[in-house]
Amino acid sequence: MAIIESDFIKITFQHGDPAEVGVNGCRIEDVIDAIVEKLLDFQGRDLACEENATALYHLDLAREALLLRRRRRENQGLIGKRSKHKAD
């Protein structure tokens, strides 16, 4: 199990294929989604700023990259396997 922990945060990442071992943690995408939600909250009130907008833009790019990775792994039959996928 992969756990990242510091004074104010603890993240438990999924270990193994959820279809085989069940859900035992979150995905990287879940962490990004939580950060995006917090920044959108800031942007919706008096804490809106250009830097938050830039961070949101880059987090969206990160989500798109991870979605592309997942699609490639699905197309190559590698979901749930610890094998490297081939890039197009």
Tens digit of pLDDT at every position of the chain (88 positions): 689 999 999 999 999 888 889 999 999 999 999 999 999 999 999 999 999 999 999 999 999 999 999 999 999 998 888 889 998 7
Q: What is the model's pTM? A: 0.86
Distance of CA 47 to the CA centre of its chain: 24
pLDDT, position 81: 82
Contact between 25 and 14 under an 8 Å Cβ cutoff? The reply is: yes
